[in-house]
Amino acid sequence: MVQIIGHRGARGLEPENTMRSFRKALELGVDYIECDVHMTKDGHIVLMHDHTVDRTTNASGPVNSFTFDEIRKLDAGEGEIIPTLGELLDLARGKVKLHIELKDETAPLQVTPPTPSPAPGLPTPGAPALPPGQTPQPQPTPERVSVSAPSGPYIPPQLTTCPNCSNIMTFSPDGSTFCIRCGYKPELKK
């Protein structure tokens, strides 16, 4: 079966790796959206193909030389800002599969999808209870999110969700974890 992948969204039609490009890819009916991630100087995960912002923004320099606040002020084309991985996850949830490429080999980033709910309609273990009348949102699962890296990522055997927002947790080589959406960081055991 042929799968259609929106490479960097709809990069030939809209500024690549921007929310505008990802929305266009959805509009065109792609099966997957591929994106590239880098980490800012202060540890935020942003979507950018190149190691520098030179080709796609109104600035120059390595992605990891900018803070999150600085990089969000750049024009990524047609007035678009550089999005976060969390923003793309929100857009894609329940609509399209994602392929995330880790571009920054020096960043302590490993993205893994969380364990799916044990059965349809049941919350992920450890997730907060939903208010009455609300239905669970589809969560990224191993079947809906794939990850690659030039050097091959270390993917921990356990897949973890954030206890605050039930989203993807990221893993650092030192074994620490943090949530890419809400910033939750569990206490390290001494």
The domain locations on the chain are 1-190
- Distance between alpha carbon 160 and the CA centroid of its chain, in Å? 15
Which pLDDT score is estimated for 94? 86
pLDDT at residue 125, rounded to an integer = 43
What's the helix, strand, coil split of the chain in %, to 5? 15, 20, 65
In this predicted structure, what is the pLDDT of residue 150? 55
Output the CATH code of domain 1-190: 3.20.20
Q: How far apart are the C-alpha atoms of 25 and 30, rounded to whole Å?
A: 6
User: Average pLDDT per run of 10 along the chain, which is 190 residues long?
Assistant: 88 96 96 90 90 97 96 98 92 87 58 40 44 49 58 43 62 52 63
Q: What is the DSSP letter of 107?
A: S
pLDDT of residue 116: 39
Apex CA 153: angle with CA 150 and CA 22, to 5°? 70
What is the pLDDT, as a whole number, of residue 178?
61
CB of 102 closer than 8 Å to CB of 38: no
Catalytic residue from among 7, 38, 44, 99: 7
- Respond yes or no: is residue 7 known to be catalytic: yes
Q: What is the pLDDT of residue 132?
A: 55
Q: What is the pTM of this model?
A: 0.65
Would you state the pLDDT for residue 133?
54
At residue 176, the pLDDT reads 55
Catalytic residue status for 44: no
